Homo-oligomer: A and B are copies of this chain.
Amino acid sequence: MTQDLDPAALDQLFRSARTQNAWQDRPIPDTKLQDLYDLLKYGPTSANSSPARFVFIRTAEGKAKLKPALSEGNIAKTMTAPVTAIVAYDPAFYEQLPKLFPHTDARSWFSDNPSLAEVTAFRNGTLQGAYLIIAARALGLDTGAMSGFDNAKVDAAFFADTGWKSNFLVNLGYGDPTGLFERSPRLSFDEAVRLE
A133 touching B50 by the CB < 8 A rule?
A: no
Q: A44-B145, A126-B127, A129-B127 are in contact. Are A54 and B96 (CB under 8 A)?
A: no
- Most chain B C-beta atoms within 10 Å of own C-beta, residue among A15, A58, A129, A187: A187
Contact surface of A with B, Cβ cutoff 8 Å: 1-5, 9-10, 12-17, 19, 30, 33-34, 37-44, 46, 48, 50, 52-59, 61-62, 65, 96, 99-103, 120, 122-123, 126-131, 133-135, 138-143, 145-147, 158, 167-168, 174-175, 181, 184-187, 189, 191-196
Report the minimum CB–CB distance from A148 to chain B (whole Å).
8
Min CB gap A5→B, angstroms: 5
New A-B contacts (5) at CB < 8 Å, excluding given A1-B17, A55-B193: A1-B16, A10-B39, A38-B189, A100-B186, A126-B126
Assess whether A10 is in contact with B196, with CB atoms less than 8 Å apart: no
Question: A14's contact among B17, B43, B57, by CB below 8 Å, is which?
Answer: B43
Neighbour of A58 across the interface among B14, B175, B195, CB < 8 A: B195
**CA–CA, A135 to B12, complex, Å?**
12
Q: Are B5 and A138 in contact (CB under 8 A)?
A: yes
